[in-house]
Amino acid sequence: MKRLYIVLFAVLALTGCKKAIEKIAEDMVIKAMTDGQWIITSFTQNGNDITTDFTGYKFKYYENRTVDAIKNDILERTGTWNGDAATMTTSANFTGAPNPIALINGSWKITNSTWTTVEANQTNGTEVKTLKLKKI
């Protein structure tokens, strides 16, 4: 019976550690995204480079999971965002936004990231988009 308690304690402790590690990873994602503003340095849609459509845009992410799209220092649209370190994904939703902002909507698979850059791609049916963000 004593062994059962030891095993049960170990399982609970490990489960708690896993949740703590996930919380730390989530906190790091939030810290990385909310520290500064971001610009799009590359955006392709089905192989077509449309990066210039995002000229003048900056994105400011907040801890409450909102994100502002700012064009030429004027707030154009507020949306929501999420990031998951465990699955290496991020998502954004700018409800009712026109292009090019609407092109950011949806879930993105992060393919490369540092504290100041993020590279991601998104596939919806036959549409393939790639995105590179840089912190400024």
Is the pTM here over 0.75, yes or no? yes
Of residues 33 and 103, which shows the higher confidence score?
103
The reported pLDDT for the residue numbered 85 is 86
The reported pLDDT for the residue numbered 32 is 75
Query: Averaged over 51-77, what is the pLDDT?
Result: 97
Query: Averaged over 68-97, what is the pLDDT?
Result: 95
Segment among 22-31, 37-46, 54-63 with least mean pLDDT: 22-31
With bands split at pLDDT 50, 70 and 90, how would you rate the model's confidence at 5?
very low
Query: Averaged over 6-15, what is the pLDDT?
Result: 54
pLDDT for 7 beyond 70: no
Give the list of residues 6+ apart from residue 68 with CB closer than 8 angstroms, or none: 59, 60, 62, 75, 77, 78
Query: Cα–Cα distance between 131 and 109 in angstroms, integer?
Result: 10
pLDDT for 88 beyond 70: yes
The reported pLDDT for the residue numbered 59 is 98
With bands split at pLDDT 50, 70 and 90, how would you rate the model's confidence at 31?
confident
In which residue are the tokens 């994105």 written?
Answer: 59
Cβ contact 93:79 at 8 Å: yes
The domain over range 2-135 is classified in CATH as 2.40.128.280: yes
Which amino acid makes up residue 33? M
Query: Cα–Cα distance between 82 and 56 in angstroms, integer?
Result: 23
